[in-house]
Structure 1
Amino acid sequence: MPSSPSRADRLAALVARPFAHRGLHGHDGLIENTRGAFEAAIAAGSGIELDTQVSADGDAAVIHDYALDRLAGLPGRVCGLAMRELERIRIGRTGETIPSLEQVLALIAGRAPLLIEVKSPGRQVAPLCEAVNRALRSYIGAVAVMSFNPEIGRWFRSHAPDVLRGLVVTEEGKKGFRGRIERHLSLRVAKPDFLAYDVRDFPSRFASGCRAGGMPVLTWTVRTEADRARAAANADQIIYEVPA
């Protein structure tokens, strides 16, 4: 019976190709975090990065913003509606609606590496983490969770240690001593397998130190040739958007 891939092998497979940020959107009428954007990323041979938030009834919804106004033109917040209500909300002027993570996982079905950004501020992270983990239990494919919030990494380390996990980092507004301490504390809490770093922060002593220690560094959001050059010198893989 063949042995299961090691954690290092799974991580290498995950970061083997670039990731389309919120799917491949911004052209041909495609909108971020929609089925069409995910299919476009797969067709382009890219991995997929997407965002999740918790619905009022404890499911993981695939959408970036906490509020519904920018993408749906509606008042209210994602966490105030049940998943069945969110699934009926149209995004922009398209026929796309807000999908659940389970629906998106069924769509992707292992055809592309997947990064799931878990968006849950504060320390009350269990409802969304549980929803994401529940959706992932039957998923077969290269996948990892990541978050700015180190409590997300702590939760997965404690409750679903087999899931690959990343820490998302920006030094924007946090260049001083306090920011450096915060980054090191976040690293200690999350104990991530990789970093996803703001491309605007390169070169970064913190990112370089983690990378030198063997931790892969991904970078977001790469949009220009200058971004690509910084990424090539400082990171192992990119999370990109196609310029308008």
Structure 2
Amino acid sequence: MPRRIALPPAFLRAPIAHRALHDRAQGRVENSPAAIQAALDHGYAIEIDLQLSADGVAMVFHDETLDRLTAETGPVTARSAADLGRIGLTGGADTIPTLTQVLDQVAGRVPLLIEIKDQSLVMGPTDGRLEAATAQALQGYAGPVAVMSFNPAAIAHMARLAPELPRGLTTAAYDAESWHPLPEAACAHFRAIPDYDLLGCSFISHEAADLGRDRVAHLRAQGAAILCWTIRSPAEEAAARKVAQNVTFEGYLSPLPA
């Protein structure tokens, strides 16, 4: 069983800006350098997402396809890192950054929470290429950083490739309708968060509306750090903080600790 690495206390202080402090009306697209800079300027921790380029580079981008966030179409994995780096993000002046570029920009100034997106698209085994690219980019990074994924297979790769990094699972209620076409049996499996100890995790980031689940309380009682996603108002934040030790937020400015 992999050794459990504690989540640094810094992750439980400043609220975590979801996909950085994005606001398209202000030209700050999600996961963009502009959104990352805004989070840095405010002193927020930052959550980002990773997808893989065709040539094996970890790219900071949420979706599997380019369609929603750019004027291009098709899968991210069909384009090289150089090609992706030339694609503009709709609504802003930025292009798609690499993880290395973001690490250079953040430079350890705030905690960085990295979500490795499921490359199998069915929450199954992955080939480990994105995880290997992530581990390579993070070698020598000195700031507070942690990795997580909905897919336990991705975290199993990270436990092997970068055992010194704090690891967690992104978790949810896994209602069958929202997660279609994931089979109900798979939803029930992941809903129980069975892989937490097997992977040496030290935290979860759980769906905010499902924080009342007994399994979440059980994990917190055994010492797991409880984060949550995605909070969109002060009222939602107040409710979530009755269970969660920190929130991942967007659409408003979460109050910073005094």
TM-score under structure 1 length normalisation: 0.91
Question: Residues 1-244 of structure 1: matches in 2 within 5 Å?
Answer: 7-8=5-6, 11-26=8-23, 27-119=25-117, 120-121=119-120, 122-173=124-175, 179-182=187-190, 183-243=192-252
Q: Which runs of 5+ in 1 are unaligned?
A: 1-5
* 1:195-217 Cα shifts (integer Å, max 9, x gaps): 00000112111111100111000
Contact 1:172 1:201 in 2 (8 A): no
Q: Using the alignment, how far apart are the partners of 2:22 and 2:78 within structure 1?
A: 27
What secondary structure sits across from 1:69 in the alignment?
Answer: coil
Query: CA shift at 1:189, angstroms?
Result: 4.2
One-letter amino acid matched to 1:42: L
* 1:213-240 Cα shifts (integer Å, max 9, x gaps): 1100000101123311221111011110
Q: Using the alignment, how far apart are the partners of 2:229 and 2:214 within structure 1?
A: 17
One-letter amino acid matched to 2:167: R
Query: CA shift at 1:74, angstroms?
Result: 1.4
Contact 2:27 2:93 in 1 (8 A): no
Higher relative contact order (CA 8 A, sep 6+): 2
Q: Using the alignment, how far apart are the partners of 1:33 and 1:65 within structure 2?
A: 11
Q: Identity rate of aligned residues, in percent? A: 36
Query: CA shift at 1:193, angstroms?
Result: 1.2
- Deviates further, 213-222 or 187-196: 187-196
Contact 2:29 2:91 in 1 (8 A): no
What secondary structure sits across from 2:86 in the alignment?
Answer: coil
Contact 2:51 2:116 in 1 (8 A): yes
Q: Which runs of 5+ in 2 are unaligned?
A: 178-183, 254-258
Structure 1 pair 92–192 and aligned structure 2 pair: CA distance change class (3 A): same
One-letter amino acid matched to 2:83: E
TM-score under structure 2 length normalisation: 0.86
Contact 2:5 2:167 in 1 (8 A): no
Contact 2:28 2:91 in 1 (8 A): no
Q: Using the alignment, how far apart are the partners of 1:148 and 1:125 within structure 2?
A: 16
Structure 1 pair 203–116 and aligned structure 2 pair: CA distance change class (3 A): same
Q: Using the alignment, how far apart are the partners of 2:187 and 2:243 within structure 1?
A: 20
Structure 1 pair 59–213 and aligned structure 2 pair: CA distance change class (3 A): same
Hey, which of these two has a bigger chunk of helix by percent?
1
* 1:47-87 Cα shifts (integer Å, max 9, x gaps): 00000011000000100001101110211110000100000
One-letter amino acid matched to 1:216: A
Q: Using the alignment, how far apart are the partners of 1:17 and 1:214 within structure 2?
A: 20
CA RMSD of superposed structures (Å): 2.1
What secondary structure sits across from 1:72 in the alignment?
Answer: coil
